[in-house]
Amino acid sequence: MSQMKQTDPTTCVIGDIHGCHATLTHLLALVLHKAQTIVFLGDYVDRGPHSKEVVSTILALQQQETHRIIPLMGNHDFLFNQYLNGQDASIFLQVGGLQTLASYGLHPSASQQEIEDKVPPAHRAFFRSLPLWWQDSHAIYVHAGLQPGRHLSQQTSAWCLWAREHFLQDSFDFGKPVIFGHTVFDKPFMSANRIGLDTGAVYNGFLTALLLPKREIVCVRNSETNNRF
């Protein structure tokens, strides 16, 4: 009897969503049947109109248990989590937080009790639990970037959530490709060891998914927002 050829399971990686729920739903319909693991690179909230719905959809996917769902933390998720914990919200409100609050039915002056009443416990737990990075046999996944020459276990939130030029311009090889979001490109950024998937969905660009190991790209144009750079 011939032995079946073993193939690596497919991982689907999805770039920055920023409250673009209808676009996410469209993209998921195109990729869910193609992958066993779904990695979200963070920035579920802010700027777009439907942050709450985006989080609810990801939580529903986790509950279905038909896929392995890996949602990572983005810098906007970090800022929203600070807001939820009663910390300084000035930056959060400046970078699109007003749209996030509106999706939860909250006013910027809402009390802590109102926040707890309007943001479901599962959503608050979601933002508390997001890891900075993840890896599998295909790649390393992170929202913004990694510090060159530093072991994964020693990477800091400053790099994982906010890195840009220093990560992009450095040629350090982490042993696997690093798949990231955060920095907006007109089309997916593809190099030998770095792949950027933030293609500006919330700026009327595309929401992009990458299927590994084949490096198949699936993009959906967003029409939910009127934002511009």
Per-residue pLDDT at 192: 86
The tens-digit pLDDT sequence of the chain (229 residues) is 333 344 679 999 999 999 999 999 999 999 999 999 999 999 999 999 999 999 999 999 999 989 999 999 999 999 999 999 999 999 999 999 999 999 999 999 999 999 999 999 999 999 999 999 999 999 999 999 999 999 999 999 999 999 999 999 998 999 999 999 999 999 999 998 999 999 999 999 999 999 999 999 999 999 776 554 3
Q: Which of 108, 134, 112, 127 shows the shortest CA–CA distance to 56?
A: 127
pLDDT at residue number 227: 52
Rounded-to-integer distance, Cα 210 and Cα 198, Å: 11
Q: What is the pLDDT of residue 7?
A: 63
HSE (CB half, 13 Å, CA atoms) of 195? 23
Was domain 11-221 assigned CATH 3.40.50.2300?
Answer: no
pLDDT value of position 229: 33
CA distance 96 to 98: 5
pLDDT for the residue numbered 131? 98
In this prediction, residue 225 carries a pLDDT of 65
pLDDT number for residue 11: 98
